[in-house]
Amino acid sequence: MSVLSKDHPAVVLSLDSQHLASIQAHANRTYPEECCGLLLGTSDPTGKTVMEVRATNNIWREEAQSDLTKKRRYLIPPEAMLVAMKYGRTLGLDIIGIYHSHPDCLAEPSEYDRAAAWQHYSYLIVSVPQGKAGDVRSWSLNDQQVFHEEDVLILQDSP
């Protein structure tokens, strides 16, 4: 089964340029390891809007989980998910997605990313070639557990 699919109506994920900047800065800080974090916002059938970005630790434990390092894996602390869920509820926001970085790799999901992904979440991936965060793409699973790409809309700062 392929990880990627093109034949799906595109969902739009909107975030503003400050959210993007904070994700890219986080990715640069953790390079050459992967960073990860949560996207809080709202969603409806036509799209999702990021209202807040929350950086989390990457708790992938190299020695316990495999010979793969944090250069190639991320794991969000479960308690960070719970805290973000509760916090979001007070603001009327849901966790709508997860972001992580791909140091020296394309912003395309790996088979691991697919296997670990949850339905309905957007998976925003930022590519970090040579320590400088660049390309950002977003993905979500379809009914067949295949990733399809979402359109990412970067909104300029509102006054």
Per CB under 5 A, 33 contacts Zn ion: no
For 24, other C-beta atoms within 10 Å of its C-beta total 18
CA pair distance 66, 73, nearest whole angstrom: 10
- Residue 60 or 94: the one with the smaller Cβ distance to Zn ion is 60
**Going by C-beta distance under 8 Å and a sequence separation of 6 or more, which residues neighbour residue 129?**
104
- Residue 113 or 150: the one with the smaller Cβ distance to Zn ion is 113
Contacts of Zn ion in 97-136 (CB under 5 A)? 110, 113
User: What's the one-letter identity of residue 95?
Assistant: I
Shortest reach from residue 46's CB to Zn ion, in Å:
26
> What tokens does 21 get?
């900047």
- Residue 18 or 134: the one with the smaller Cβ distance to Zn ion is 134
Size of the site for Zn ion (CB under 5 A): 2
- Residue 38 or 93: the one with the smaller Cβ distance to Zn ion is 38
CA pair distance 1, 22, nearest whole angstrom: 34
Binding residues (CB under 5 A) for Zn ion: these are 110, 113
